[in-house]
Amino acid sequence: MTSARPTAPTRVLAVSPHLDDAVLSYGARLHQLARSGAEVVVLTVFAGVPGPPYSATAHVYHDTWGVSGNPVPMRIDEDAKALRELGLTPRHADFLDAIYRTLPNGRWLVDDPSRSVSSQALEVEEPDLMASVAQHIREFSTRFRPAAVYTCAAIGRHVDHWRTRDATVKALLGTDIPLRFWEDLPYRGKTTRMPPLPAGTSFTGHLVEPVDPQDRDAKFRALLHYESQLALLGHESEPLPERLERYARERSETAYNEATWGLATTGGATR
């Protein structure tokens, strides 16, 4: 494990599964990059606006979020406010969250509220979705021309995180764009389990990146904009900022930090 601060690229693309993941997991570092002069765009993959009817699982989530009807436009607005707080630019793809997706036979991908989303969704492969997400990321990268791309490592095995990570790998293989994977928070506080990367690739170079207090504080302010998600993310005994601080202190007692891995391909090449 290393602890270093790489030179800031001029254009950065963060590929986020959901409308909060980039800020939760890597918001302080992205703010730091933006302060250094980088143009930072956060592309959220599963930000599509679904129409009714909704699955039973979706209704459970809506109740937890304290919303009625379609919550996605409200969540997009929350995300825009959070990213503005950090000096980042939002871009939202129109792929549907797992709780809104259906199978080719018309059944819900996730239809049992008593089971976790991923325990159901990972029983099904979604090759068409994966190909479409990878194409979207590839086309966006071609237009934006980032000097570096960050996405999730899929710690916790959430199906949308897994799909996002592997689609990003597929989109960037064969390019010279450096790709790094952030530790998914707050999942990382419960588990370190990750699904395997696509064949021929592996994680390398775990990098702990210290950030300044102002970047940490900006991240914590930004998280407050995700009002619909705070009940799901928080615990009465330990508020979300304290949980994130505790995870960081497990690695370093001297500074708040966020961590990433690089990508190695068959033959030992790293990116």
pLDDT tens sequence across 32-84: 999 999 999 999 999 999 999 999 999 999 999 988 889 999 999 999 999 99
pLDDT tens sequence across 241-270: 998 999 999 888 888 999 999 999 976 556
The answer to whether the predicted template modeling score (pTM) of the entire model surpasses 0.85 is yes
Q: Tell me the two tokens of residue 94.
A: 């129109």
Angle (deg, nearest 10), helices 159-172 and 127-144: 50
Share of the chain above pLDDT 90, in %: 76
- Euclidean distance between the first and final Cα of the chain, in Å? 17
Give the residue extent of every domain in the chain. Answer: 2-265
- In contact, 115 and 109? CB cutoff 8 Å: no
pLDDT tens sequence across 112-160: 988 888 888 888 899 999 999 999 999 999 999 999 999 999 999 999 9
The DSSP string of 49-106 is ---S---HHHHHHHHHHT--S--HHHHHHHHHHHHHHTT-EEEE--PPPGGG-B-TTS
147-47-119 Cα angle (round to 5): 105
Please give the class, per CATH, of domain 2-265.
alpha beta
